[in-house]
């Protein structure tokens, strides 16, 4: 090879590697965005189902009227909250607190579960409460991973994220009612 070809090669090779690197980074980011979207969709579906099941349980399992109204109010608020992330998080956290307050001790849960139909609804509710908490952990994990890549200088400089929204952590209190979870695990 002549001298010129060497010079050309030395110029082109680094550029080629850079291009491949950027290409890989973009694909990785793309995948991370999909993971964020998918995990958030699961979380939203679980939260919606939680509110719906709470209403069902409130009306069906033979709760005292005060407990029933507490749950119905909290569940409706969660279903009809404004679409702003903040309002929604507050409503969902309130629902978590209401569920914990109503299903506070093992004894009351076991009593309610005497009837087989109630038992099934309570188990479903317990599962979706735990499921929502899991989904939120996994969604936030995806958000964190996506942000880690999006913070990189090269990603920002080259606008590799396109118009995708900046991923947002979902902060809300989703601690499940423990007595209910225990009941579901033991009775399954």
Partner 1 sequence: MKVGIVCPYDWNVPSGVAIHVHDLAEALIGLGLEVEVLAPGEESDDIADYVTIAGRSLPVPYNGSVARVSFGPRSASRVRKWIREGDFDVLHVHSPVTPSLGMMACWSALGPIVATFHAAIDGRSRMMSGGAWILQATLEKVRARIAVSEEARRTVVEHLGGDAVLVPNGVDAQRFAVAMPRPEWSGRGTIAFLGRVDESRKGLQVLLEALPAIADAHPSARLLVAGPGETDAVHALPDDLRQRVELLGRVSEADKAALLSSVDLYVAPHIGGESFGIVLLEAMAAGSPVLASDLPAFRDVLDGGRCGALFRTGDAGALARAAADLLADAPRRERLAAAGAGRAAEFDWGRVARQVMAVYETVGAQGEKVREDDRQGPGMFAGRLRWRPSADPGDPADSPGASPPEVAGTGGHPPDGGSPRREGSSR
**Under the rule (CB under 8 A), what is the footprint of partner 1?**
17, 20-28, 30-35, 37-39, 41-42, 45-46, 127, 130-131, 134-135, 137-138, 140-142, 144-145, 148-149, 159-165, 185-186, 188
Closer Cβ to partner 1, 12 or 185, answer by number = 185
CB of residue 119 to partner 1, shortest distance in Å? 16
Taking the least distance from each CB to partner 1, the nearer of 42 and 72 is 42
Between 74 and 135, name the residue whose CB sits nearer to partner 1. Answer: 135
- Measure the CA angle with vertex 169, ends 85 and 159; round to 5°: 100
Query: Minimum distance between the CB of residue 125 and partner 1, rounded to whole angstroms?
Result: 14
Shortest Å, Cβ 47 to partner 1: 13
Using DSSP's 3-state secondary structure scheme, residue 169 falls into coil
Nearer to partner 1 by C-beta: 44 or 60? 44
CA distance 144 to 140: 6
**Closest-CA residue to 135 (of 87, 103, 92):** 92
3-state percent breakdown (helix, strand, coil) of the chain, nearest 5: 80, 0, 20
């Amino acid at each position: 090879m002549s001298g010129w070809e060497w010079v050309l090669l030395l110029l082109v090779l680094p550029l080629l590697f850079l291009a491949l690197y950027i290409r890989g980074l973009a694909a990785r980011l793309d995948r991370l965005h999909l993971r964020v979207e998918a995990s958030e969709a699961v979380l939203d579906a679980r939260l919606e189902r939680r509110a719906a099941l709470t209403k069902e349980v409130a009306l069906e399992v033979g709760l005292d009227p005060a407990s029933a109204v507490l749950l119905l109010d909290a569940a409706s608020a969660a279903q009809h909250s404004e679409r702003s992330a903040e309002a929604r998080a507050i409503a969902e956290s309130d629902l978590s607190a209401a569920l914990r307050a109503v299903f506070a001790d093992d004894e009351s849960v076991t009593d309610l579960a005497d009837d087989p139909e109630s038992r099934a609804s309570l188990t479903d509710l317990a599962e979706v409460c735990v499921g929502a908490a899991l989904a939120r952990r996994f969604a936030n994990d995806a958000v964190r991973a996506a942000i880690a890549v999006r913070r990189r200088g090269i990603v920002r400089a080259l606008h590799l994220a396109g118009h995708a929204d900046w991923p947002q952590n979902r902060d809300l209190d989703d601690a499940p009612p423990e007595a209910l979870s225990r009941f579901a695990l033991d009775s399954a």
